[in-house]
Amino acid sequence: MHQDFFDNFVGAKAIRLDGGFTVPTPRGEIDVLGPAAFVHRFGVTPPDVASGARLAALRFAVADPGLLEGVPEQAGIARLFARNAMVIGAGDAMGAVLVFEPAARAPR
């Protein structure tokens, strides 16, 4: 059902992932993941979607996530590293998980 919506909304065919799907766009990807796949990929709990779907994470491609290591501590927020990406949890990012991953990340 969600795949059909994104196929029509974005105009691109959804590609199945383990635990969800991705839709390629000219400027990036839209990934739709189930809760277990979200935790596996980002290492944090996804937001509650009992009231409906919502934007759970924003991913940013950066040349070197390691350069950001000290920034969260300086801002007084927690961070963790998951699968070679720096992750800021939703509690510290106004409700959406922030993911800073290498620009040239390995294929899934």
pTM, 2 dp = 0.74
CA end-to-end distance (rounded Å), the chain = 23
Non-local (6+) Cβ contacts of 59 within 8 A are: 28, 85, 99, 100, 101
Q: What whole-number distance in Å separates Cα of residue 18 and Cα of residue 26?
A: 23
Q: What is the pLDDT of residues 15-31, one digit of tens each?
A: 888 899 999 888 888 89
Q: Mind listing the pLDDT tens digit for each residue in 26-68?
A: 888 889 898 999 999 888 888 887 887 778 888 888 888 777 7
Parse the chain into domains and list their residue ranges.
Answer: 52-108
Look at the block and give the residue holding tokens 């766009």.
25
- Give the 3-state DSSP-derived string for the chain, with helices as H, strands as E and coil as C: CHHHHHHHHHCCCCEEECCEEEEEECCEEEEEECHHHHHHHHCCCCCCCCCCCCCCEEEEEECCHHHHCCHHHHHCCCCEEECCEEEECHHHCCCCEEEEEECCCCCC
What would be the CATH architecture of the domain defined by 52-108? 2-Layer Sandwich (3.30)
